[in-house]
Amino acid sequence: MYLIPSHEMLKKAQRCGYAVPAFNVHNLETVQVVVETAAAMSSPVILAGTPGTFTYAGIDYLVAICQSAARQHRLPFALHLDHHEALPDIERKVEAGVRSVMIDGSHLPFEENVATVSRVAQLCHRYGISVEAELGQLVGQEDDLTVDEKHGAFTDPDAAAEFAKRTGIDSLAVAIGSAHGLYKGEPKLDFPRLEQIRRRVDIPLVLHGASGLPEKMVREAIGLGVCKVNVATELKIAFADAVKGYFKENPEANDPRHYMAPGKVAMRKVVEEKISICGSAGKL
């Protein structure tokens, strides 16, 4: 079994009214947990890696781990480049086997964003590779990228329609009050804005920053057309808290096969919960 592009998965989700969860993975343990849980729940799933993750794990290592996971479960999964910005970097990872790409030009002025994304979309579509891009800008921290409140921007529905049409992307990440990392205070999503975007844009919409969003909000966003839900921070917290707890009780521990185990159990619960919120169980 191979790593597949994500656009068919997302189109099916759009037709059937659920979302595909995308989990950020960093190492063998996160890939194992996400893929094993998705396989057990028969859920489509996207494994996402930021530039920092690929630098940490190594491109070939990460691709090989994800391919092995897909082979082992005899199921198709997508490995997706999350928040990538440079064409040569994307090309290198596509050559290594990645079939789903986010080109993030959301920090650029509109015309530059259109030009950058169009270039990547042209290249990727030659090989049947899926392309996601973002318009508007989420606040918070993702990888090495931090955006403060001053620089965050909501997605404009009319600009979104023009952006999708001119770039030819397969999915659009929207900024509707969503934030990377944990929310400061109570999260507030601009659902009327999401509705307006949905009315003008017919490709699948992506909700970044799902960690810390109440279940009801994520379900409402899916009801209004979100087909991909990105989760990173909640997995990290679950893993880190469980491993810290293990060391507290076993200060002499030194065997990673032992101290990683409770971290994996804790992450599994998060993955199960998000799959069930997305409504993607049984949709493989």
Q: Residues comprising the binding site for dihydroxyacetone phosphate?
A: 181, 209-211, 230-233
DSSP 151: G
Annotate 158-185 with b (16+ C-beta within 10 A) or e (fewer): ebbbebbeebebbbbbbbbbbbbbebee
Lookup: tokens for 104: 């993030």
**Amino acid at the residue 274:** K
Give the Cα separation of 180 and 106 in Å (integer). Answer: 14
Within residues 57-86, the interface with ligand 13P by CB under 6 A covers 82-83
Considering only 32, 43, 171, 233, the residue that binds ligand 13P (CB under 6 A) is: 233
Taking CB under 6 A as the binding criterion, the range among 62-70, 110-118, 209-217, 242-250 that sits at the site for ligand 13P is: 209-217
Give the Cα separation of 138 and 151 in Å (integer). Answer: 9
> What are the backbone angles phi and psi of residue 158, rounded to the nearest 5°?
-70, -40
Query: Is 26 among the residues that bind ligand 13P (CB under 6 A)?
Result: no
Query: Is 7 among the residues that bind ligand 13P (CB under 6 A)?
Result: no
**Amino acid at the residue 276:** S
**x/- map, 90-119, ligand 13P, by CB under 6 A:** ------------------------------
Query: Is 232 among the residues that bind ligand 13P (CB under 6 A)?
Result: yes
Q: Which is nearer to ligand 13P, 1 or 182 (CB)?
A: 182
Find how far residue 97's CA is from the centre of its chain.
18
Within residues 112-171, the interface with ligand 13P by CB under 6 A covers 142
**Binding residues with ligand 13P: total (CB under 6 A):** 15
CB of 174 to ligand 13P, least distance (A): 11
Torsion of CA 169, 170, 172, 173, to 10 degrees: -110
190 catalytic per annotation: no
The three-class DSSP label of residue 76 is: coil
Taking CB under 6 A as the binding criterion, the range among 33-41, 62-70, 158-166, 230-238 that sits at the site for ligand 13P is: 230-238
Give me the active site residues, please: 82
Residues making contact with ligand 13P (CB under 6 A): 24, 82-83, 142, 180-181, 208-211, 230-234
